[in-house]
Amino acid sequence: MRPYTIFLLLLFSVTTLTAQEVLTGLQINPVVKQKFIANDRLKSVKEMTDTLPIQLPFFDDFSSNGIYPSPLRWSDRYAFENNDFPYFPPNLGAITLDAINDSGMLYSHAVPGPAAFVADYLTSRYIRLDTLFTPAPRPLGPSDSVYLSFYYQPQGRGRPPQTSDSLILEFFRPAHDSISPTDTIPLPDQWNRVWFAKGMALDTFYFQGNQYFRQVMIPLRDPSYFTDRFRFRFFNYVSLASSSEPSWQSNTDQWNIDNVYLNCDRNLNDTIHPEIRFIERPPAMLKKYQEMPYLQYCDDPTNEVSDSINILISNRDLLSHVSNYRYYVTAPGGTSSKSYNGGNYAIPTFYYNGYVNYQPFAHPPVPFIFPIGLEDTASFLMTHIVRDTATGSVLGDTMQAWQRFRNYYAYDDGTPEAGYGLTPAGSKLAYRFRLNRSPDTLRAIHVYFNQTLTHANQQWFYLCVWNDNAGIPGDTIYSDLVLTSFADSLNQFVTYHLYPPVRITGTFYIGWIQTTNDNLNVGFDTYNNSQDEIFYNTMGQWNNSFFSGSLMMRPVVGKAIPLGTGEIPHDRLSFVLSPNPVSSGRMTIRLEDGNRCNLRKDLLSLTVYNLTGQAVIRSAFTPSVDVSALPGGIYLVVLSDREGTLTGTAKLVITP
């Protein structure tokens, strides 16, 4: 298991230095906000109803690639389903409770610290605890040994909850009569607190138990819970900075929850949920960048592609499983295809051996380069697959991501977990990039700014470009006084065009010089680390950043771009499969309302992959697909357009 990066435990501490780097939480979650705006047919939480109770077992590992909790299991959508904030979760994806509501904004009832307020809720639908329906209906009661289990983690990649903050679990007891020998007393609906955890930093949490996520097991023994209207909920208390520190009044106190499981015939030792899973999302196959200009890549592809990548896999069973790992890299339309097969390996149990350290699985090589072309852009779909090789086993996992080449450099992945700034006035920030094809033309700079509670970061600043001086910023070759701005587009970046465009050679730097003491609050990606490329100057000397992560600033190079054009949109196609699981016959595909209104369905393609990476169904998009010929197991359904700029994936389970 990798040691926890120490700076993550320190980066959110408030200091009193007069010249410093500062890192804050987010006032707005751009991913949630965009989903909320795009899907205006979503009902408000108050309007959501839960008239049909669900049955046992109840399980959610939050790996559906959604944003809101699944309405199949949860009755509200305040919490944020993601794989950005959890740190070493049990499997890829978790649910995060913080200070931001379902519209992506800080709660309207938020108050300045140190007072704490209730923020997110995660509430289950009504659950039938009166009857067990499988294999045959029978009454369910306390003697059936019903347990609720879950994993939780404070902070993750976000900000640590304070000791005055907490994560709380409550059980719902429906209205009922309390009968005694002498009287009958009607009792109203009631939420009962059954568990809580005090806030703390992740390093403290880890040192207490030597694990990043801790599992909790809670028995249900009260007979009043065993009705057709049982439910449970998590919620968190949050405390913001005080009124004297308005720039710190932003999202904070994150809690991550994973693998929520409620079922009967369990006990305190029933802590194992056998699965072979990926833990972190697919890494980029480039050495330094998440994305880069295609023509710059093509000029030196060998030195831009990584020699190997890092993959985290865990076997959460008590037995080892002989498994196969492989990955595929394909271009849209099948014009190019590369693959790697790591062979078979007996993956030992995570509980004694940790994550897989077998080199062909954990650090697979990249024995190829992406195709070279004359186009301005290119996209390649990376598919990673691990599966148990035993006959009939459904243990395994699949994950996908796009490796994109556009007209900009990006160290970040497009999602901020924090905000970065400097103080005092006159402070400088420089971000280093390197050209392969030199000289080139710097046309624009994409910047993501976090909005703050009082818009205190909407300030004038000098947008600058420097050349290189022996590894640090040299002469200023461009400077323009501009104003902080915000975007509501999907990618949330603002484009600053350079007038005139700047001729750049070799190594160059983009950044800013401040005109005020205020924090500009630029988006900061703590998932990907380009710390060595970030320089700040607050006291007359350039220093490397103290913080591990990547600034959300992207230089745009190459051909001229139209005035006012933002970043090239990378849309995610959202769709729902039903029924899922499916036992036979046909599955239907429903495109969600949040997709682009001008979406051309006739330009979409559909592919179904099995756990070996084989395409078992490939066709143009159709809302109904016959899967009766496929054997039982786990499949990946992929929809994409011809250029690969619009894509979506969903897991399909076929039962025998």
Residue 379 and residue 486 in contact, taking contact as beta carbons nearer than 8 Å: no
Q: What are 234-256's pLDDT values in tens digits?
A: 999 988 754 444 444 456 789 99
Taking the C-alpha atoms of residue 454 and residue 467, their distance in angstroms, rounded to an integer, is: 35
Q: In a 10 Å sphere around its CB, with 0-12 CB exposed, 13-18 middle and 19+ buried, how is residue 335 labelled?
A: exposed
Can you point out the beta strands (E) in 64-141? 80-82, 94-97, 116-123, 131-132, 138-139
Mean pLDDT score, 279-285: 94
Residues with Cβ within 8 Å of residue 154, at least 6 apart in sequence:
160, 161, 167, 197, 199, 200, 201, 202, 205, 254, 255, 256
Specify the length of the chain in residues.
Answer: 656
Mean pLDDT score, 606-632: 82
Amino acid identity, position 100: I
| pTM of the full structure | 0.79
Please report the DSSP string for 423-441 in residue order. ESTT-EEEEEEE-SS-SEE
CATH 2.60.120.260 region(s) of the chain? 6-13+43-271
Taking the C-alpha atoms of residue 81 and residue 62, their distance in angstroms, rounded to an integer, is: 6
Position of tokens 């429906």?
Answer: 174
Mean pLDDT score, 554-561: 89
Predicted pLDDT at 333: 74
- DSSP, collapsed to helix, strand or coil, labels residue 73 as coil
- Run of H or E including 178: strand 176-179
Taking the C-alpha atoms of residue 550 and residue 528, their distance in angstroms, rounded to an integer, is: 6
pLDDT confidence bin for 445, thresholds 50/70/90: very high
Taking the C-alpha atoms of residue 556 and residue 483, their distance in angstroms, rounded to an integer, is: 19
Four-CA torsion 458, 463, 468, 472, nearest 10 degrees: -20
Predicted pLDDT at 67: 85
Residue 500 and residue 398 in contact, taking contact as beta carbons nearer than 8 Å: no
CATH 2.60.40.1930 region(s) of the chain? 569-656
Amino acid identity, position 637: V
Predicted pLDDT at 434: 98
Residues with Cβ within 8 Å of residue 458, at least 6 apart in sequence:
483, 484
Predicted pLDDT at 376: 86
Predicted pLDDT at 580: 86
Among 594, 570, 574, which residue's Cα sits nearest to residue 650? 574
418-557: in CATH 2.60.120: yes
Percent of the chain predicted with pLDDT > 70: 82
Q: What are 347-356's pLDDT values in tens digits?
A: 999 999 999 9
pLDDT confidence bin for 115, thresholds 50/70/90: confident
Average the pLDDT over each of 89-103, 449-463, 539-553 and give the range with the smallest value.
449-463
Taking the C-alpha atoms of residue 514 and residue 74, their distance in angstroms, rounded to an integer, is: 46
Residues with Cβ within 8 Å of residue 553, at least 6 apart in sequence:
431, 445, 446, 447, 448, 510, 511, 522
Amino acid identity, position 47: E
Q: What are 360-404's pLDDT values in tens digits?
A: 999 999 999 999 988 889 999 999 999 999 999 999 999 999 999
How far does CA 538 lie from the centroid of its chain?
33
Residues forming beta bridges with residue 431, ordered by sequence position: 510, 534
Q: In a 10 Å sphere around its CB, with 0-12 CB exposed, 13-18 middle and 19+ buried, how is residue 645 labelled?
A: middle
Taking the C-alpha atoms of residue 414 and residue 357, their distance in angstroms, rounded to an integer, is: 29
Supply the CATH classification number for the domain 569-656: 2.60.40.1930
Q: Are strands 20-24 and 571-572 parallel, antiparallel or unpaired?
A: unpaired
Query: What's the mean per-residue pLDDT of the chain?
Result: 84
Four-CA torsion 364, 369, 375, 378, nearest 10 degrees: -10
pLDDT at 4 over 70: no
Taking the C-alpha atoms of residue 109 and residue 120, their distance in angstroms, rounded to an integer, is: 12
Taking the C-alpha atoms of residue 242 and residue 253, their distance in angstroms, rounded to an integer, is: 15
pLDDT confidence bin for 602, thresholds 50/70/90: confident
Predicted pLDDT at 246: 47
Among 91, 89, 95, which residue's Cα sits nearest to residue 73? 95
Predicted pLDDT at 345: 98
State residue 334 phi and psi, 5-degree precision. 75, 20
Higher pLDDT among residues 14 and 641, named by residue: 641
Supply the CATH classification number for the domain 6-13+43-271: 2.60.120.260
Q: What share of the chain is helix, strand, coil (3-state, %, to 5)?
A: 10, 40, 50
| 399 to 197, 281, 416, 565: CA distances (angstroms) | 32, 7, 22, 32
Predicted pLDDT at 396: 96
Predicted pLDDT at 518: 76
Average the pLDDT over each of 105-119, 212-226, 537-551, 560-574 and give the range with the smallest value.
560-574
Higher pLDDT among residues 337 and 103, named by residue: 337
Computed from CA positions of residues 557, 286, 334, 597, in that sequence, does the dihedral angle turn out positive or negative?
A: negative
Mean pLDDT score, 175-199: 80
Higher pLDDT among residues 21 and 90, named by residue: 90
Higher pLDDT among residues 257 and 163, named by residue: 257
- DSSP, collapsed to helix, strand or coil, labels residue 565 as coil
Four-CA torsion 608, 71, 80, 47, nearest 10 degrees: 140
pLDDT at 46 over 50: no
Q: What are 508-535's pLDDT values in tens digits?
A: 999 999 887 777 888 899 999 999 999 9
Residues with Cβ within 8 Å of residue 109, at least 6 apart in sequence:
117
Alpha-helical runs (H) found in 280-395 = 294-299, 301-304, 350-353, 359-362
Among 632, 601, 602, which residue's Cα sits nearest to residue 616? 632
State residue 298 phi and psi, 5-degree precision. -65, -20
Predicted pLDDT at 565: 39
End-to-end CA, the chain:
37
pLDDT confidence bin for 416, thresholds 50/70/90: confident
Residue 555 and residue 539 in contact, taking contact as beta carbons nearer than 8 Å: no
Predicted pLDDT at 250: 56
Can you point out the beta strands (E) in 105-165? 116-123, 131-132, 138-139, 146-154
Angle at 45 (CA atoms; ends 43, 48), nearest 5 degrees: 65
Q: What are 471-514's pLDDT values in tens digits?
A: 999 999 999 888 777 654 334 788 899 989 999 999 999 999 98
Predicted pLDDT at 6: 31
